[in-house]
Every structure is written in structure tokens, then in C-alpha cells.
Amino acid sequence: MNINNIDSPIEKRNTGKGNPNAVIHAGRPLSNRQSRLLGLLPEFDSSVTVRKKDVNMRDLAALTAQTGDEFAIFTKGGERLIIRGNCNSVNVDVERAKALSEQGYPGIGRNCLQASPGDIEILRCFKQEVAYIYNSQGIYLEFGKE
């Protein structure tokens, strides 16, 4: 018997699948849920609305790790709107942010760790004081309007 051919239950439970850090550093695959979500966001500026419980910031961090693109997420009630950007930004300008706010979306999250002047301007369009920026490792930064 060769020990290298035995499938360890521990290895099966901790495969790194869907873990943003493992996706970016070890080339691990996305989880099934993340793969389905990415399929709904095939290109820059595509968007999808899903149930709140069907996506979280870790999922978006994994998508960023896989694609190199930023993703914005807006939450209202039990739903989340996700918009795919590119490696530099998400196509949400002040007018689009105001329209989303009028639709009842109160906030934004972005997948980079530096709040740009545009991020702060977008936050000012919403009736909240802070937002969060996540990077591809799932690390986040809280930033405010000031």
C-alpha cells in the first residue's frame, strides 16, 4: 500500500475550492455557486440580481481572484445586484448610483483596497455613512463619505 494513493478525508474537506486566497495563489477552482454566478456575469458591465443568501463578499473576492476584475454589489431587502467591472473599475458613475439609490439600493462594496474619489462620491449618493471595499483575498477596508 502506498500512502500517497490514499484519499484522506481531511484533504477532501479542505480543498481550498472557492477560497479566494487559494484561487489566486494555488489555482484552486471556484465553488459551484461562484461558477454559476460568474456564468451570469460573462463580461464587463454585465449585471445580475440574486437572492441575498446566494452571494456574499467572499464569493466576489473569489471571482476577482479568478478573473482579475472588480465587482460591485448593491443590497436591498432580500436581494443583491452585482455588476462586473474590469481590472480598473466598475461602471457605476454618479448618475447610475443615484438611479440605484432611487430604486432602494442603500450601499456599495468594491473589490480593491483603496477608496477612490469616485468611490467616495458614489457613497455620497446613498443614505449611509460607510461602505466597504474588498480585495481578492477577502480583506476589506471600511471607508466613509469624508
Where are the domains positioned within the chain?
Answer: 7-144
Q: Residue 137: its pLDDT value, please?
A: 58
Yes or no: say if 82 and 73 are a contact pair by the CB < 8 Å rule: yes
Q: Quick one: pLDDT at residue 35? A: 94
The pLDDT of residue 49 is: 95
Task: Give the three-state DSSP class for 81.
Answer: strand
What residues in the chain have per-residue pLDDT under 50?
1-12, 107-112
Specify the DSSP element, H or E, that contains 22: helix 20-26
Please answer whether residues 141 and 113 qualify as being in contact, where contact means their C-beta atoms are separated by less than 8 angstroms: yes
Q: How much is the pLDDT for 65?
A: 86
* Residue 63 backbone zone (phi > 0: left; psi -120 to 50: alpha; other: beta): alpha
Q: In the prediction, which pLDDT does 34 show?
A: 94
- Secondary structure class of 2 (helix, strand, coil): coil
**Which one-letter amino acid corresponds to residue 23?**
V
For residue range 46-74, what is the model confidence (pLDDT) as tens digits?
Answer: 999 999 999 988 898 889 889 989 898 88
pLDDT of 7 reads 41
CA-angle at 54, arms to 51 and 58, nearest 5°: 130
Helix (H/G/I), strand (E/B), else coil: 31: coil
The confidence score (pLDDT) of residue 13 equals 52
pLDDT of residue 5: 39
